[in-house]
Amino acid sequence: MNNIYNKIIEHIKNTPVINTHSHHLPDSEFVNADLHFILSNSYANWLAAPPKRGDRAGAAEYINKHRCNSYFRWIIKSLEELYGLEMTADNYDLIDEKLTASHKDALYHLEILKNRCRFEKIVNERQPDPSSNLGHPDLFSPSFRCDCYFSGYLKTKPEPNGFFAYSTFEKNDIHTLSEYLDEVKKAISKKKNDGCKALKCAIAYERPLDFDEYNLSKAEKALNNESASEDEINAFGNIVMRTLCEAAAENGLPFQIHTGMGQLKDTNPIKLLKIIEENQNTKFQLLHGGFPWFSDTYALLHNYKNVWSDTCWIPYLSTSAAKDYIKSALEVSDAFRLTWGCDTWTSEDALGALFSMEHTLSLALSEMVIDGAFETEYAFYIADRIMYENGKQLFDL
Ligand SMILES: [Zn+2]
Protein backbone atom coordinates (compact mmCIF):
# COMPACT_ATOMS: atom_id res chain seq x y z
CA MET A 1 0.00 0.00 0.00
CA ASN A 2 1.18 3.51 -0.71
CA ASN A 3 2.23 6.05 1.86
CA ILE A 4 -0.91 8.18 1.50
CA TYR A 5 -3.13 5.14 2.12
CA ASN A 6 -1.12 4.41 5.26
CA LYS A 7 -1.53 7.97 6.55
CA ILE A 8 -5.27 7.99 5.89
CA ILE A 9 -5.98 4.61 7.47
CA GLU A 10 -3.90 5.54 10.51
CA HIS A 11 -5.97 8.71 10.86
CA ILE A 12 -9.26 6.81 10.54
CA LYS A 13 -8.20 4.18 13.08
CA ASN A 14 -7.65 6.95 15.64
CA THR A 15 -11.06 8.59 15.37
CA PRO A 16 -14.41 7.69 16.97
CA VAL A 17 -17.24 6.36 14.81
CA ILE A 18 -20.95 7.12 14.56
CA ASN A 19 -22.41 3.87 13.26
CA THR A 20 -25.58 4.78 11.38
CA HIS A 21 -27.05 1.35 10.69
CA SER A 22 -26.85 -1.88 12.70
CA HIS A 23 -28.97 -4.85 13.80
CA HIS A 24 -27.00 -5.65 16.96
CA LEU A 25 -28.45 -8.47 19.04
CA PRO A 26 -29.51 -8.06 22.70
CA ASP A 27 -27.21 -9.11 25.58
CA SER A 28 -29.13 -12.34 26.17
CA GLU A 29 -28.18 -13.67 22.72
CA PHE A 30 -24.46 -13.53 23.53
CA VAL A 31 -24.71 -15.73 26.62
CA ASN A 32 -22.86 -18.95 25.70
CA ALA A 33 -21.85 -17.55 22.30
CA ASP A 34 -19.31 -19.72 20.48
CA LEU A 35 -17.66 -19.46 17.06
CA HIS A 36 -20.49 -21.38 15.42
CA PHE A 37 -23.03 -18.89 16.81
CA ILE A 38 -20.98 -15.88 15.72
CA LEU A 39 -20.44 -17.19 12.19
CA SER A 40 -24.06 -18.37 11.92
CA ASN A 41 -25.19 -14.83 12.74
CA SER A 42 -22.83 -13.19 10.27
CA TYR A 43 -23.00 -12.54 6.54
CA ALA A 44 -20.57 -15.44 6.12
CA ASN A 45 -23.52 -17.68 6.93
CA TRP A 46 -25.06 -16.59 3.61
CA LEU A 47 -22.20 -18.50 1.94
CA ALA A 48 -22.44 -21.75 3.87
CA ALA A 49 -23.19 -22.99 7.37
CA PRO A 50 -19.97 -22.86 9.43
CA PRO A 51 -18.24 -26.12 10.37
CA LYS A 52 -18.84 -27.61 13.78
CA ARG A 53 -16.14 -27.89 16.45
CA GLY A 54 -13.86 -30.88 15.78
CA ASP A 55 -14.51 -31.02 12.03
CA ARG A 56 -10.98 -30.25 10.75
CA ALA A 57 -11.67 -31.33 7.16
CA GLY A 58 -14.86 -29.25 7.13
CA ALA A 59 -12.94 -26.23 8.44
CA ALA A 60 -10.27 -26.64 5.74
CA GLU A 61 -12.85 -26.75 2.96
CA TYR A 62 -14.83 -23.85 4.48
CA ILE A 63 -11.71 -21.65 4.59
CA ASN A 64 -10.38 -22.63 1.15
CA LYS A 65 -13.71 -22.16 -0.55
CA HIS A 66 -14.50 -18.72 0.86
CA ARG A 67 -11.21 -16.80 1.30
CA CYS A 68 -11.93 -14.70 -1.81
CA ASN A 69 -15.36 -13.60 -0.61
CA SER A 70 -15.62 -10.14 1.00
CA TYR A 71 -17.95 -11.18 3.85
CA PHE A 72 -15.56 -13.98 4.72
CA ARG A 73 -12.38 -11.96 4.26
CA TRP A 74 -13.34 -9.34 6.82
CA ILE A 75 -14.98 -11.39 9.55
CA ILE A 76 -11.93 -13.67 9.45
CA LYS A 77 -9.66 -10.64 9.82
CA SER A 78 -11.78 -9.54 12.78
CA LEU A 79 -11.55 -13.00 14.43
CA GLU A 80 -7.79 -13.12 13.81
CA GLU A 81 -7.26 -9.70 15.43
CA LEU A 82 -9.56 -10.34 18.38
CA TYR A 83 -8.26 -13.82 19.20
CA GLY A 84 -4.63 -13.50 18.08
CA LEU A 85 -4.49 -16.55 15.81
CA GLU A 86 -4.39 -17.00 12.06
CA MET A 87 -7.57 -18.64 10.73
CA THR A 88 -6.43 -22.07 9.58
CA ALA A 89 -8.10 -25.46 9.81
CA ASP A 90 -5.72 -26.29 12.69
CA ASN A 91 -6.58 -23.10 14.57
CA TYR A 92 -10.35 -23.17 14.00
CA ASP A 93 -11.11 -24.89 17.32
CA LEU A 94 -8.54 -22.80 19.22
CA ILE A 95 -10.21 -19.60 18.03
CA ASP A 96 -13.54 -21.11 19.06
CA GLU A 97 -12.20 -21.79 22.59
CA LYS A 98 -10.83 -18.25 22.97
CA LEU A 99 -14.01 -16.67 21.64
CA THR A 100 -16.23 -18.80 23.90
CA ALA A 101 -14.12 -17.93 26.95
CA SER A 102 -14.27 -14.21 26.14
CA HIS A 103 -18.06 -14.23 25.91
CA LYS A 104 -18.31 -15.63 29.45
CA ASP A 105 -18.13 -11.95 30.35
CA ALA A 106 -21.69 -10.89 29.54
CA LEU A 107 -20.61 -7.37 28.55
CA TYR A 108 -17.73 -8.47 26.30
CA HIS A 109 -19.79 -7.91 23.14
CA LEU A 110 -20.28 -4.27 24.14
CA GLU A 111 -16.59 -3.87 24.94
CA ILE A 112 -15.75 -4.79 21.34
CA LEU A 113 -18.22 -2.23 20.03
CA LYS A 114 -16.99 0.55 22.30
CA ASN A 115 -13.26 -0.11 22.51
CA ARG A 116 -12.27 -2.07 19.42
CA CYS A 117 -14.78 -0.51 17.01
CA ARG A 118 -14.67 2.96 18.69
CA PHE A 119 -18.46 3.29 18.21
CA GLU A 120 -19.74 6.33 20.06
CA LYS A 121 -23.35 5.82 18.96
CA ILE A 122 -25.11 3.12 16.98
CA VAL A 123 -28.37 3.64 15.10
CA ASN A 124 -29.80 0.17 15.68
CA GLU A 125 -32.76 -1.54 14.09
CA ARG A 126 -33.84 -4.65 15.90
CA GLN A 127 -36.63 -7.02 14.94
CA PRO A 128 -39.07 -8.14 16.30
CA ASP A 129 -38.62 -5.31 18.81
CA PRO A 130 -38.18 -2.50 16.33
CA SER A 131 -37.67 0.43 18.68
CA SER A 132 -35.50 -1.18 21.36
CA ASN A 133 -32.28 0.44 22.62
CA LEU A 134 -31.26 -3.01 23.97
CA GLY A 135 -31.18 -1.58 27.49
CA HIS A 136 -28.10 0.50 26.63
CA PRO A 137 -29.39 3.95 25.67
CA ASP A 138 -25.88 5.39 26.01
CA LEU A 139 -24.77 3.34 22.99
CA PHE A 140 -27.84 2.40 20.94
CA SER A 141 -30.31 4.81 19.32
CA PRO A 142 -33.19 2.90 17.75
CA SER A 143 -34.36 3.21 14.18
CA PHE A 144 -38.01 2.24 13.92
CA ARG A 145 -38.58 -0.36 11.20
CA CYS A 146 -41.94 0.30 9.56
CA ASP A 147 -42.35 -2.80 7.37
CA CYS A 148 -45.29 -3.92 9.51
CA TYR A 149 -47.45 -1.14 8.05
CA PHE A 150 -47.26 -2.77 4.62
CA SER A 151 -48.51 -6.11 5.95
CA GLY A 152 -51.01 -4.43 8.31
CA TYR A 153 -53.77 -4.37 5.68
CA LEU A 154 -54.72 -7.48 7.64
CA LYS A 155 -54.78 -7.12 11.40
CA THR A 156 -53.55 -10.70 11.78
CA LYS A 157 -50.66 -10.45 9.31
CA PRO A 158 -47.24 -9.62 10.82
CA GLU A 159 -44.25 -8.48 8.82
CA PRO A 160 -41.76 -11.32 8.10
CA ASN A 161 -40.02 -10.95 11.49
CA GLY A 162 -43.27 -11.44 13.36
CA PHE A 163 -44.09 -7.84 14.26
CA PHE A 164 -47.70 -6.63 14.01
CA ALA A 165 -48.76 -3.12 12.92
CA TYR A 166 -51.63 -3.19 15.39
CA SER A 167 -49.23 -3.68 18.31
CA THR A 168 -48.30 0.00 17.79
CA PHE A 169 -51.89 1.28 17.36
CA GLU A 170 -54.25 2.86 19.88
CA LYS A 171 -57.33 1.63 18.00
CA ASN A 172 -57.89 -2.08 17.65
CA ASP A 173 -60.73 -1.85 15.15
CA ILE A 174 -60.06 -0.01 11.93
CA HIS A 175 -62.53 0.22 9.07
CA THR A 176 -61.15 2.82 6.66
CA LEU A 177 -57.82 3.51 5.03
CA SER A 178 -57.73 7.02 6.46
CA GLU A 179 -58.24 5.67 10.01
CA TYR A 180 -55.40 3.20 9.36
CA LEU A 181 -53.02 5.91 8.12
CA ASP A 182 -53.90 8.13 11.11
CA GLU A 183 -52.88 5.30 13.42
CA VAL A 184 -49.61 4.84 11.51
CA LYS A 185 -48.80 8.52 11.94
CA LYS A 186 -49.71 8.52 15.64
CA ALA A 187 -47.55 5.41 16.20
CA ILE A 188 -44.56 7.05 14.52
CA SER A 189 -44.89 10.23 16.62
CA LYS A 190 -44.99 8.04 19.70
CA LYS A 191 -41.85 6.16 18.63
CA LYS A 192 -40.11 9.48 18.10
CA ASN A 193 -41.10 10.55 21.63
CA ASP A 194 -39.81 7.20 22.92
CA GLY A 195 -36.36 7.99 21.50
CA CYS A 196 -36.32 6.61 17.96
CA LYS A 197 -33.93 8.54 15.75
CA ALA A 198 -34.97 7.28 12.32
CA LEU A 199 -37.52 5.31 10.35
CA LYS A 200 -36.43 2.26 8.39
CA CYS A 201 -38.00 0.45 5.48
CA ALA A 202 -36.65 -2.88 4.19
CA ILE A 203 -39.64 -3.68 2.00
CA ALA A 204 -37.30 -4.31 -0.98
CA TYR A 205 -37.07 -7.87 0.37
CA GLU A 206 -40.78 -8.28 -0.32
CA ARG A 207 -41.93 -6.04 -3.16
CA PRO A 208 -40.62 -3.68 -5.85
CA LEU A 209 -39.55 -0.15 -4.84
CA ASP A 210 -41.94 1.31 -7.38
CA PHE A 211 -44.54 3.26 -5.39
CA ASP A 212 -45.65 5.48 -8.27
CA GLU A 213 -49.27 4.45 -8.67
CA TYR A 214 -51.56 6.45 -6.39
CA ASN A 215 -54.99 4.85 -6.29
CA LEU A 216 -56.86 5.30 -3.02
CA SER A 217 -59.91 3.24 -3.94
CA LYS A 218 -57.78 0.29 -5.03
CA ALA A 219 -55.71 0.60 -1.83
CA GLU A 220 -58.88 0.72 0.28
CA LYS A 221 -59.92 -2.64 -1.23
CA ALA A 222 -56.96 -4.37 0.43
CA LEU A 223 -57.86 -3.25 3.96
CA ASN A 224 -59.27 -6.11 6.07
CA ASN A 225 -59.57 -8.20 2.92
CA GLU A 226 -58.18 -11.75 3.20
CA SER A 227 -58.55 -12.25 -0.55
CA ALA A 228 -57.03 -8.95 -1.68
CA SER A 229 -55.18 -9.23 -4.99
CA GLU A 230 -51.44 -8.57 -5.26
CA ASP A 231 -52.31 -5.43 -7.20
CA GLU A 232 -54.54 -4.16 -4.37
CA ILE A 233 -51.93 -5.03 -1.75
CA ASN A 234 -49.31 -3.11 -3.73
CA ALA A 235 -51.68 -0.14 -4.08
CA PHE A 236 -52.12 -0.23 -0.28
CA GLY A 237 -48.33 -0.32 0.14
CA ASN A 238 -47.92 2.66 -2.19
CA ILE A 239 -50.15 4.79 0.05
CA VAL A 240 -48.38 3.49 3.18
CA MET A 241 -45.01 4.48 1.69
CA ARG A 242 -46.23 8.02 1.05
CA THR A 243 -47.53 8.22 4.61
CA LEU A 244 -44.14 7.06 5.95
CA CYS A 245 -42.37 9.75 3.90
CA GLU A 246 -44.73 12.39 5.31
CA ALA A 247 -44.40 11.12 8.88
CA ALA A 248 -40.60 11.13 8.58
CA ALA A 249 -40.64 14.78 7.52
CA GLU A 250 -43.25 15.81 10.12
CA ASN A 251 -41.23 14.21 12.93
CA GLY A 252 -37.83 15.30 11.64
CA LEU A 253 -36.68 11.66 11.33
CA PRO A 254 -34.39 10.54 8.48
CA PHE A 255 -35.97 7.74 6.45
CA GLN A 256 -33.58 4.80 5.92
CA ILE A 257 -34.57 2.77 2.88
CA HIS A 258 -32.97 -0.53 1.92
CA THR A 259 -32.15 -0.41 -1.80
CA GLY A 260 -30.57 -2.80 -4.28
CA MET A 261 -30.23 -6.37 -3.02
CA GLY A 262 -33.42 -8.01 -1.78
CA GLN A 263 -35.97 -9.56 -4.08
CA LEU A 264 -33.90 -7.99 -6.95
CA LYS A 265 -36.97 -7.35 -9.09
CA ASP A 266 -37.31 -3.58 -9.43
CA THR A 267 -35.39 -2.83 -6.24
CA ASN A 268 -32.96 -0.41 -7.89
CA PRO A 269 -32.92 3.05 -6.26
CA ILE A 270 -34.19 5.03 -9.27
CA LYS A 271 -37.59 3.41 -8.64
CA LEU A 272 -37.83 5.85 -5.71
CA LEU A 273 -37.51 8.89 -7.99
CA LYS A 274 -41.15 9.94 -7.76
CA ILE A 275 -41.51 9.73 -3.98
CA ILE A 276 -38.18 11.55 -3.51
CA GLU A 277 -39.35 14.25 -5.92
CA GLU A 278 -42.71 14.55 -4.13
CA ASN A 279 -41.26 14.63 -0.61
CA GLN A 280 -38.52 17.23 -0.71
CA ASN A 281 -38.78 17.80 3.06
CA THR A 282 -38.05 14.15 3.80
CA LYS A 283 -34.42 13.21 4.40
CA PHE A 284 -33.96 9.98 2.46
CA GLN A 285 -31.02 7.89 3.58
CA LEU A 286 -30.63 5.25 0.87
CA LEU A 287 -28.83 2.17 2.15
CA HIS A 288 -26.18 0.06 0.39
CA GLY A 289 -25.71 2.37 -2.62
CA GLY A 290 -28.41 0.31 -4.29
CA PHE A 291 -25.75 -2.35 -4.97
CA PRO A 292 -25.31 -3.43 -7.72
CA TRP A 293 -27.12 -0.43 -9.28
CA PHE A 294 -24.72 2.24 -8.04
CA SER A 295 -25.38 4.61 -10.93
CA ASP A 296 -29.00 5.03 -9.78
CA THR A 297 -27.76 6.35 -6.44
CA TYR A 298 -25.22 8.64 -8.12
CA ALA A 299 -28.05 10.23 -10.12
CA LEU A 300 -30.27 10.70 -7.05
CA LEU A 301 -27.38 12.12 -4.98
CA HIS A 302 -26.57 14.50 -7.81
CA ASN A 303 -30.09 15.82 -8.31
CA TYR A 304 -31.61 15.77 -4.81
CA LYS A 305 -30.14 17.48 -1.76
CA ASN A 306 -32.60 15.51 0.41
CA VAL A 307 -30.80 12.25 -0.48
CA TRP A 308 -28.03 10.78 1.68
CA SER A 309 -26.15 7.57 0.96
CA ASP A 310 -25.28 5.11 3.69
CA THR A 311 -22.33 3.01 2.56
CA CYS A 312 -23.24 0.21 4.97
CA TRP A 313 -22.83 -3.31 3.57
CA ILE A 314 -21.14 -2.13 0.34
CA PRO A 315 -17.52 -2.95 1.39
CA TYR A 316 -18.85 -6.29 2.67
CA LEU A 317 -20.69 -7.09 -0.56
CA SER A 318 -17.65 -6.28 -2.67
CA THR A 319 -14.58 -4.54 -1.31
CA SER A 320 -13.29 -3.44 -4.71
CA ALA A 321 -16.70 -2.18 -5.88
CA ALA A 322 -17.01 -0.18 -2.64
CA LYS A 323 -13.79 1.71 -3.34
CA ASP A 324 -15.15 2.87 -6.70
CA TYR A 325 -18.54 3.63 -5.17
CA ILE A 326 -17.07 5.97 -2.54
CA LYS A 327 -15.08 7.90 -5.15
CA SER A 328 -17.98 8.37 -7.55
CA ALA A 329 -20.51 9.15 -4.81
CA LEU A 330 -18.22 11.89 -3.44
CA GLU A 331 -17.63 13.24 -6.94
CA VAL A 332 -21.36 13.64 -7.69
CA SER A 333 -22.43 14.95 -4.25
CA ASP A 334 -20.41 16.58 -1.45
CA ALA A 335 -18.59 15.72 1.77
CA PHE A 336 -21.75 15.89 3.91
CA ARG A 337 -24.07 13.21 2.52
CA LEU A 338 -22.21 9.92 2.92
CA THR A 339 -22.42 7.93 6.16
CA TRP A 340 -21.42 4.45 7.28
CA GLY A 341 -23.01 1.71 9.39
CA CYS A 342 -21.83 -1.81 10.18
CA ASP A 343 -25.19 -3.44 9.32
CA THR A 344 -24.35 -6.51 11.43
CA TRP A 345 -25.81 -8.63 14.23
CA THR A 346 -22.72 -9.39 16.30
CA SER A 347 -19.64 -7.51 17.51
CA GLU A 348 -17.18 -9.74 15.65
CA ASP A 349 -18.99 -9.03 12.38
CA ALA A 350 -19.26 -5.32 13.25
CA LEU A 351 -15.48 -5.16 13.64
CA GLY A 352 -15.04 -6.98 10.32
CA ALA A 353 -17.40 -4.52 8.63
CA LEU A 354 -15.45 -1.63 10.16
CA PHE A 355 -12.15 -3.06 8.89
CA SER A 356 -13.66 -3.38 5.41
CA MET A 357 -14.76 0.27 5.44
CA GLU A 358 -11.49 1.60 6.88
CA HIS A 359 -9.66 -0.19 4.08
CA THR A 360 -11.95 0.84 1.20
CA LEU A 361 -12.32 4.44 2.40
CA SER A 362 -8.54 4.77 2.69
CA LEU A 363 -8.04 3.24 -0.75
CA ALA A 364 -10.66 5.52 -2.32
CA LEU A 365 -9.36 8.72 -0.69
CA SER A 366 -5.70 7.91 -1.38
CA GLU A 367 -6.53 7.42 -5.06
CA MET A 368 -8.30 10.79 -5.11
CA VAL A 369 -5.25 12.43 -3.48
CA ILE A 370 -2.92 10.82 -6.04
CA ASP A 371 -5.29 11.95 -8.80
CA GLY A 372 -4.92 15.55 -7.57
CA ALA A 373 -8.52 15.95 -6.37
CA PHE A 374 -7.37 17.27 -2.96
CA GLU A 375 -4.58 17.11 -0.38
CA THR A 376 -4.18 14.43 2.30
CA GLU A 377 -5.43 16.85 4.98
CA TYR A 378 -8.75 17.15 3.18
CA ALA A 379 -8.91 13.34 2.89
CA PHE A 380 -8.75 13.27 6.73
CA TYR A 381 -11.59 15.79 6.81
CA ILE A 382 -13.78 13.69 4.47
CA ALA A 383 -13.05 10.54 6.47
CA ASP A 384 -14.16 12.32 9.67
CA ARG A 385 -17.31 13.53 7.95
CA ILE A 386 -18.27 10.05 6.67
CA MET A 387 -17.34 8.07 9.77
CA TYR A 388 -18.60 10.56 12.36
CA GLU A 389 -19.93 14.05 11.68
CA ASN A 390 -22.45 13.32 8.93
CA GLY A 391 -24.21 10.62 10.95
CA LYS A 392 -24.17 12.71 14.11
CA GLN A 393 -25.82 15.62 12.30
CA LEU A 394 -28.28 13.63 10.20
CA PHE A 395 -29.63 11.63 13.16
CA ASP A 396 -29.28 14.43 15.71
CA LEU A 397 -27.20 12.22 18.03
ZN1 LIG B 1 -29.55 -3.56 7.50
**pLDDT one-digit tens code per residue, 60-96:** 999 999 999 999 999 999 999 999 999 999 999 999 9
- Domain coordinates in residue numbering, the chain: 3-28+121-394, 32-105
Cα(258) to centroid of ligand 1, in Å?
Answer: 7
Cα(250) to centroid of ligand 1, in Å?
Answer: 24
Cα(7) to centroid of ligand 1, in Å?
Answer: 30
Nearest to 331 by CA among 306, 297, 359: 297
pLDDT at position 397 is 96
All residues with CB under 5 Å from ion ligand 1: 343
Positions of the chain with pLDDT under 50: none
In CATH terms, the fold of domain 3-28+121-394 is TIM Barrel (3.20.20)
Cα(380) to centroid of ligand 1, in Å?
Answer: 27
Cα(48) to centroid of ligand 1, in Å?
Answer: 20
pLDDT in tens, 12-21: 999 999 999 9
pLDDT at position 231 is 96
Cα(288) to centroid of ligand 1, in Å?
Answer: 9
Cα(22) to centroid of ligand 1, in Å?
Answer: 6
Nearest to 38 by CA among 70, 76, 5: 76
pLDDT at position 269 is 96
pLDDT at position 126 is 87
Cα(342) to centroid of ligand 1, in Å?
Answer: 8
Tell me the torsion sign for CA atoms 132, 306, 251, 213. negative
For β-strands 119-124 and 255-258, DSSP reports them as: unpaired
CA distance 309 to 300: 10
The pTM assigned to this predicted structure is: 0.96
Cα(24) to centroid of ligand 1, in Å?
Answer: 10
Cα(291) to centroid of ligand 1, in Å?
Answer: 13
Cα(21) to centroid of ligand 1, in Å?
Answer: 6
Residues 6+ apart with CB under 8 A from 88: 63
pLDDT at position 119 is 98
Contact 342, 353 (CB under 8 A): yes
**DSSP E strand boundaries for the chain:** 17-22, 119-124, 140-145, 198-201, 255-258, 284-287, 307-310, 338-339
